[in-house]
């Protein structure tokens, strides 16, 4: 436990952290870094917040902070940071910060696909008002939505789906009351009209949505990925999309960014959003509250929350 009289040297990714955080906690001295020129107090930094979706340099600088004790991410995912942590450094993620934004986007992707909103955008650009369509739009009512990776974002998604008159199947790594284990997927996938991916990127989940997984989906099913691109085998997804048997709505892809000319851009039945799950007006106030609270806890020697790696503090 740290001595409360000490001044905590922090490096934060906001040029005016006092304003962004609504005031720095007592005994916290902050410098700005979001890439480029390194902060002067690099050797003294104890608490570091990398910039959101920053370049590799904002992660690699961790190795140049010998006094570092805490890394606080602005993302729920943290797998990219693990190789850069040394013994004794605590890693905390931003669990809860992105729940609202990501859940909202997942609902938006489902509804945009089901109600064919991209078609409406195209018609508007052309100035066309079709008098009829060959088929009716799909409705979320009476459908079954399987949430794979049922944690805090999954709970937020279910709350937002409440009222759409759809059924929910909850799946997580381990079974708990009301939540199925991931091992039950072969029995559950054929029941789902929509599968929403919310899993972290781990050795266990990397490439989990492969040809076998996709083949278990019913005809007309919709796959929504608001997790990480590497959870889905892109080649397997392209093969399945080419048959037009299923649809996909992707906030994340593998590779990412998706390069120009990649076959996913022109694949049938796919809606692509350029990784904007957490990028909404809900983000800044929530991450500010989290970071300020964590700094205050650390400065007072109180336990941190959202610890995902390293020793508890």
CA of 52: how far to CAs of 15, 35, 56, 72, 278, in Å?
A: 14, 11, 11, 11, 10
Question: With contact defined as beta carbons under 8 Å apart, do 240 and 232 qualify?
Answer: no
Distances (CA, A) of 218 to 56, 192, 246: 40, 7, 8
DSSP β-bridge partners for residue 130: none
Q: Which of 84, 180, 262, 275 is catalytic?
A: 275
Residue 62: C-alpha distances to residues 45, 134, 237, 291 (Å):
10, 57, 36, 18
For tokens 């013994």, what's the residue?
A: 87
* Structure-token pair, residue 139: 């409705």
Is 275 catalytic? The answer is yes
* 240 touches 246 (CB < 8 A): yes
| Sign for the pseudo-dihedral over CA of 282, 17, 5, 38 | positive
Identify the H or E element spanning 91. strand 90-92
Residue 71 has φ and ψ, to the nearest 5°, of -115, 120
- Per DSSP, the three-state class of 8 is strand
* Residues that are catalytic: 275
């Amino acid at each position: 436990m740290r001595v409360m009289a000490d001044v905590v040297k922090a490096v934060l990714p906001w040029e005016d952290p006092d304003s962004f955080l609504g005031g720095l906690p007592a005994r916290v001295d902050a410098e700005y870094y979001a890439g480029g020129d390194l902060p002067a107090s690099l050797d003294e930094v104890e608490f570091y917040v990398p910039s959101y979706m920053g370049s590799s340099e904002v992660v690699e600088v961790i190795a140049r902070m010998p006094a570092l004790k805490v890394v606080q991410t602005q993302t729920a995912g943290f797998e990219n940071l693990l190789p850069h942590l040394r013994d004794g450094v605590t890693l905390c993620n931003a669990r809860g910060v992105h729940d609202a934004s990501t859940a909202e986007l997942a609902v938006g992707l489902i509804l945009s696909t089901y109600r064919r909103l991209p078609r409406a955008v195209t018609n508007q650009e052309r100035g066309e008002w079709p008098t009829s369509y060959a088929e009716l739009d799909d409705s979320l009512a009476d459908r079954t939505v399987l949430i794979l990776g049922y944690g805090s974002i999954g709970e937020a998604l279910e709350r937002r789906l409440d009222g759409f008159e759809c059924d929910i199947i909850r799946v997580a790594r381990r079974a708990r009351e009301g939540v199925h284990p991931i091992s039950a997927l072969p029995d559950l996938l054929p029941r789902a009209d929509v599968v929403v991916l919310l899993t972290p990127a781990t050795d266990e989940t990397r490439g989990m949505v492969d040809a076998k997984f996709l083949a278990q989906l019913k005809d007309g099913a919709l796959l929504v990925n608001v997790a990480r691109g590497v959870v889905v085998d892109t080649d397997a997804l392209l093969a399945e999309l080419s048959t037009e048997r299923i649809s996909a709505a992707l906030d994340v892809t593998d590779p990412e960014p998706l390069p120009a000319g990649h076959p996913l851009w022109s694949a049938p039945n796919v809606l692509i959003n350029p990784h904007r799950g957490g990028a909404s007006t809900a983000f800044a106030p929530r991450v500010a509250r989290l970071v300020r609270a964590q700094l205050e806890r650390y400065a007072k020697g109180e336990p941190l929350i959202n610890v995902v790696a390293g020793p508890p503090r």
